[in-house]
Structure 1
Amino acid sequence: MSGQPVPSDGTGAAGEPVDPLEYRRAIGRFATGVTVVTTFAGRHDHAMTANSVTSVSLYPVLMLVSVEQDSRWHEAVAESGVWGVSILGEHGRPTAEWLASPGRPLHGQLDRIAHHRGPQTGVALLDGALATLECRTVAAHPAGDHTLVVGEVLSVESPARVEAALVHFRGRYGILP
C-alpha cells in the first residue's frame, strides 16, 4: 500500500471515470466458485446463482453474499432474514444457468431442482451440492448498486463424497477437479 489516498468518486488515478464494462471484463478473469443462494419469503422459495459469495470470519463463523439491490432475491432476503448457500459441483451447470436466467418465473423455480429443507431455517438447499450452509442475516451493508449481506452460519453439510467443482471464468462455466 502506498499510503496515498484512494479516490472515492469512481475515478481512476488520472481522474477519468472507470468504465464499468472494462471493470466487468477485468473482474471476469477472477475465477470463482458457483453457488445457488436461496431464501423463503411471501410463501415462495427465492433462488439465484451467485459467485460473489465469500467466507468472512471463523470466530464467529460468518459469510457474505453480494446482491444486486433491485433483484427479487434482495427484497426476499431482507424480508426473511435467513438464507442458504449450495456450492455447486460439476453437474450443477444446468441449475446455475436456469437460476441465472433473467425473467424466469418466481413460482416453481425450484420445482425441477432436487432439494431439501435446511434443519435450522427451512430454506431450500440443493441435493448433490458439494456443501450447503444455512445463514441468518446479521448485517447488510449498501455498496453501490449492491448490498453485502453478512450472515452467521447456522448449519453446514459437507458430504464425504467430493466431485469436481463448477467454476465461472470469463463469462463461462468450467470444471475444476
Structure 2
Amino acid sequence: MGAAEIGMGAVRAAEFRTVMSRFATGVTVVTCVQEGFDHAMTANAFASVSLDPALVLVCVEDDSRFHEAVLHAGAWNVNVLEEGQRGRASWFATSGRPLVGQFDTTPTRRSAETGALLLDGCLATLECVTESVHRAGDHDILIGRVLGMELARPEGRPLLYFASSYGTLGDPAAR
C-alpha cells in the first residue's frame, strides 16, 4: 500500500503538529555543559529505549543552539519535571536565552557523572553519556547510556504536555 493510498501523500507540518499534540507526554529539561557554559532545553520527545543496558533517547532539533552544545558535550542530564514546574518548562523552551544567567532563578546542583546541571525539585533525574546519534528529518535522536539516576520525589506528580499546553493529571481521588 503506497503513501497516497493510506492518506500520507502531502502531510503539512502544521497539521502534523496539531495531530501529534493530541499525544500527552511528560516534560523534561535536558542539560549539558560545553566549554564551561551550561545549556538547557525543554523536551517532551524523551523515552526509555532499553533496560539492559539502561538507555534513553531524546530528540533535539538540528538548528537549535542546544543541538551543537549537546553533540559536543557528549554527556547530558534529563530532569523529569513535576506538576509545579511549569515556569521552568516555559523558561527553558524559549529560544534565544543568553547562556550567562539562564539558571539564575533555578536552584541546581552539578552532576558528578556528567558535569552538567541537575535541577532541584524534579521528580527524577538521569545522567547520561551519548551512546549514538541518529539523523531523523530536522532532528537528531540522541541515545544515551544512563550512568546515574535519582528518583527524588516518588510521591510527586508529573508535568504533562497536551494540545500544545502544559497540564497535570486529574485528581487521583476522583477515579
Q: Report the TM-score, using the length of structure 1 for normalisation.
A: 0.91
Unmatched 5+ residue regions in structure 2?
none
The more displaced of 31-40 and 161-170 is 161-170
Q: For 1:111-149, what per-residue CA distance to the aligned partner results, in whole angstroms no more than 9, with x for missing partners? A: 210111112112101101000000000100000000000
Give 1:103's aligned amino acid: G
Moved more, 155-164 or 127-136: 155-164
- Deviations, residues 7-42 of structure 1 (Å, cap 9, x unaligned): 5xxx67356311111110000000000000000002
> Helix, strand or coil for the counterpart of 2:9?
coil
User: Residue type of the partner of 2:66?
Assistant: W
Deviations 1:68-114 (A, max 9, x none): 00111110011110000000001110100111112221222112101
Moved more, 100-109 or 85-94: 100-109
Cα pair distance change 1:22/1:80, threshold 3 Å: same
Aligned partner of 1:93 in structure 2 is 86
State whether structure 2 residue 28 is matched by structure 1 residue 35. Answer: yes
| Residue among 149, 152, 174 paired with 1:159 | 152
Instruction: Give 3-state SS (helix, strand or coil) of 1:17's partner.
Output: coil
Equivalent residue, structure 2, for 1:111? 104
Q: Does 1:130 pair with 2:123?
A: yes
Counterpart secondary structure, 2:6: coil
Aligned residue pairs: how many? 170
Q: Name the structure 2 match of 1:68.
A: 61
Q: 1:103 to 1:63 in 2, by over 3 A?
A: same
**1:175 corresponds to which residue?**
168
Whether contact under 8 Å (2:123, 2:153) holds in the other structure is no
Cα displacement (A) at 1:160: 4.9
Flag the 1:119–1:27 CA change in 2: closer, same or farther, 3 A. Answer: same
Within 5 Å, which residues of 2 pair with 1:76-91? Answer: 76-91=69-84
Contact map agreement 1:118 1:125 (CA 8 A) in 2 = yes
- Secondary structure of 2:72 counterpart: helix
Structure 1 residue 16 corresponds to structure 2 residue 12: no
Report the 3-state secondary structure (helix = DSSP H, G, I; strand = E; otherwise coil) of the residue aligned with 2:78. Answer: strand
**What do you get for the CA RMSD once the two structures are aligned?**
1.6
Q: Percent identity?
A: 48
User: Distance in 1 between the 2:40 and 2:101 partners?
Assistant: 10
